[in-house]
Amino acid sequence: MKFDAIVLGAGMVGVCVAVHLQRRGLRVALVDRKAPGNETSFGNAGLIQREGVYPYALPRDLATLMRYARNRSLDVRYHARAMPKVLPFLYRYWYHSRPDRHAAIARSYSTLIEHCVDEHRALIEASGAQALLRTGGWLKAFRSARKQEAELRTAERWRAEYGVAFEPLDAAQLRRDEPSLGHALIGALRYTEADSVSDPNALVAAYARYFEALGGRIFIGDAQTLAPQWSVDTDAGRIDAHSAVIALGPWSDVLTARLGYRFLLAVKRGYHMHYAARDGAHLNQPVLDAEIGYMMTPMARGIRLTTGAELAYRDAPATPVQLDAIEPIARALFPLGERLDAQPWLGSRPCTPDMMPVIGPASRHKDLWFAFGHAHHGLTLGPVTGRLLAEMMVGADPIADPRPFRADRFKC
């Protein structure tokens, strides 16, 4: 029951950290309260976003902010009672979203994004999960020429700055690609180098089985029992290790606070529901309804409809008003049949105010490491995060410069 490293959190990020440490010769224990991939990593649109060099910023124009303030927007909702706690985060988020600051963040963030597809494909091959992978990109679809032209200008800038590949589709091309979509859409952009998967939970589970095949051990346990230097309670008893990694997603700040760290971490909650397809309809790739703010993705279970962001306390009761609001809009766009889930799934994305994850060593504890705060890109960045942190921990040359992601940038 002695290990070289304990990784706390068996979502996409934690599993990938464990895999990469085990591949580098360490004896690793992966600990979570549930089986791998059954919290935040369970519910998302399944995208591996090679185009995501600019993390999602907070709009700064007054018209959009006023629309959000009325709390009737389809893409962003909030719980009023949570706002006193969330406002300090939102202010720092707004601060970092200024175009020049956002551009500086992208220069660092892109050093991870550029590896996301290659690192996933390597683990997919190693874990035998090729059947889950869908290549060929995803579609951002438009209802108005104004929105389409604005997004095309943005995509052209991303291509010039970071080599992001895309192709525009007019209405006729979109009909040929997705004949089951309604005619409200006038065109789309396809981000051609992105991948997607048909079951994110199954992908995490495949990576976890690969970790075990490498000799790693998975335990059900309580991360909050972590004690220096370093041990944690599990269903198999107390286990000890030389080092520990906190990769608990939206629960990371609970444990780091107990250890004396103060991260300004917030959550963006999101919902999904699966649907059958009516009348032989078929969806070939993920499609974002860009002006409404929801995504439809073909999944192993059915068509997954995912919502935008909900700002709330992490553990507040579910309020799936966004899902209820977008469902009739989605039904008008694609022939969705009956709901296939007993209730909407709810998850929380862990977000930092500067939109970048925390990856690296703790400042006040020896052999304690952090890997959390990936917001909308936990699935996308899991493998490259795992590789980067493992290389740092064993003293190898890192795949990317880790300094922009260091924990002490928050002076916590």
DSSP for 67-128? HHHTT--SSEEE-GGGHHHHHHHHHHHHHHTSHHHHHHHHHHHHHHHTTHHHHHHHHHHHHT
CA dihedral angle for residue 14, residue 16, residue 22, residue 26, rounded to 10 degrees:
-50
State the Rg of the chain over Cα: 21
Q: Are 268 and 373 in contact (CB under 8 A)?
A: no
Task: Report the alpha-carbon distance of residue 129 to residue 43 in Å, rounded.
Answer: 18
Q: Are 409 and 362 in contact (CB under 8 A)?
A: no
Q: Are 350 and 91 in contact (CB under 8 A)?
A: no
Flag whether 109 is in a domain.
no
pLDDT band at residue 412 under the 50/70/90 scheme? low
What are the tens digits of pLDDT across the range 23-73? 999 999 999 999 999 999 999 999 999 999 999 999 999 999 999 999 999
Which residue range is the domain that position 222 belongs to?
A: 2-45+116-130+200-265+353-410
Task: Report the alpha-carbon distance of residue 325 to residue 159 in Å, rounded.
Answer: 34
Flag whether 249 is in a domain.
yes
Mean pLDDT, residues 290-317 taken together: 97
Listed in sequence order, the residues at least 6 apart from 225 whose beta carbon sits closer than 8 Å to its beta carbon are: 232, 233
Q: Is the pLDDT of residue 126 over 80?
A: yes
The average confidence (pLDDT) of the chain is 97
As separate numbers, helices (DSSP H) first and strands (DSSP E) second, the chain gives 11, 21
Q: ω before 22 within 30° of 0 (cis)?
A: no
Flag whether 386 is in a domain.
yes
Q: Is the pLDDT of residue 79 over 70?
A: yes
Flag whether 288 is in a domain.
no
Flag whether 374 is in a domain.
yes
pLDDT band at residue 411 under the 50/70/90 scheme? confident
Mean pLDDT, residues 231-253 taken together: 98
Which CATH number do you get for residue 217?
A: 3.50.50.60
Flag whether 120 is in a domain.
yes
The domain total for the chain is 1
| pLDDT confidence of residue 330 | 98
Flag whether 59 is in a domain.
no
Flag whether 138 is in a domain.
no
187-191/167-170 β-pairing: antiparallel
Q: Is the pLDDT of residue 244 over 70?
A: yes
What are the tens digits of pLDDT across the range 130-162? 999 999 999 999 999 999 999 999 999 999 999
- Count of beta carbons in the 10 Å neighbourhood of residue 34: 11
Q: Is the pLDDT of residue 75 over 70?
A: yes
Q: What percent of the chain clears pLDDT 90, i.e. is strictly above it? A: 99
